A and B are shown apart, each in its own frame.
Chain A
Amino acid sequence: MRKAYYYAALAVLVAFVVLALLAPWVAPYDPNAQDLLSRLKPYSAEHWLGTDEYGRDQLSRLIFGARVSLLAAVEVVAVGLLLGVPSGVLAGFFPGLIDGALSRISDALMSVPSLVLALTIVAVLGQGLGSAMFAVGIVFTPRFFRVARASTYEVRQETFIEASFAIGCSWWRVAWRHVLPNAMSPLVVQIAVVLGAAITAEASLSFLGIGVQPPTASWGGMLSSAYQNLYEAAYLIWAPGIAIALTVLAFTALGDEARVALGTRQPVGA
Chain B
Amino acid sequence: MAKSYPRRRNFFGRVVDRVEAVCDVSFSLGHGETLAIVGESGAGKSTVGRLILRLIEPDRGRIVLDGVDLRAMPRRALRLHRRHMQMIFQDPFSSLDPRVEIGRSVEEPMLLHLGLAADERRGRALALLKRVGLDESYARRLPSGLSGGQLQRVAIARALSLNPKIIVCDEPVAALDVSVRAQVLNLMAELQEEFGMSYLFISHDLSIVRAISDRVAVMSKGRVMEIGETEQIFAAPKNDYTNELIRAIPAMAHG
Please give the residue numbers on chain A whose beta carbons come within 8 Å of chain B beta carbons, in ascending order: 158-160, 162-170, 173, 178, 181-182, 266, 268-270
User: How far does the Cβ of A169 sit from chain B's closest Cβ, in whole Å?
Assistant: 6
Q: CB within 8 A of A166: which of B82, B98, B99, B143? A: B82
The complex places the Cα of A167 from the Cα of B155 at a distance, in Å, of 11
- Pair B98/A165 contact, Cβ less than 8 Å: no
Minimum C-beta distance from B165 to chain A (A):
14
Interface string of B76-97 (1 = CB under 8 A from A): 0001101100110111011111
Q: List 26 A-B contacts (CB under 8 A).
A: A158-B94, A159-B89, A160-B96, A160-B97, A162-B55, A163-B87, A163-B89, A163-B95, A163-B96, A163-B155, A166-B53, A166-B82, A166-B86, A166-B87, A167-B82, A167-B108, A168-B79, A168-B80, A168-B82, A168-B83, A168-B109, A169-B79, A170-B79, A181-B97, A269-B98, A269-B144
3 A-B pairs with least C-beta separation: A168-B82, A269-B94, A159-B94
Residues B82 and A269 in contact, CB atoms below 8 Å apart: no
Please report B residues at the A interface, Cβ cutoff 8 Å: 53, 55, 79-80, 82-83, 86-87, 89-91, 93-100, 108-109, 112-113, 143-144, 155, 158, 162
| Identity of the chain B residue whose Cβ is nearest the Cβ of A178 in the assembled complex | B97
* Complex CA–CA separation, A170 to B108 (angstroms): 12
Q: Within the assembled complex, what's the spacing in Å between the Cα atoms of A182 and B100?
A: 10
Question: Is B95 a contact partner of A159 (Cβ separation < 8 A)?
Answer: yes
Return A161 CB to nearest CB of chain B, in Å: 8
Q: A167, B97: Cβ atoms under 8 Å?
A: no
* Nearest Cβ on chain A to B125's Cβ, whole angstroms: 13
The distance in angstroms between the C-alpha atoms of A169 and B109, with both chains bound, is 8
- Separation of A3 and B80 alpha carbons in the complex (Å): 51
Q: A160-B94, A160-B95, A269-B96 are in contact. Are A169 and B112 (CB under 8 A)?
A: yes
Instruction: Return B114 CB to nearest CB of chain A, in Å.
Output: 11
Tell me, rounded to whole Å, the shortest Cβ–Cβ distance linking B68 to chain A.
15
Residues of A within 8 A of B113 (CB): 168
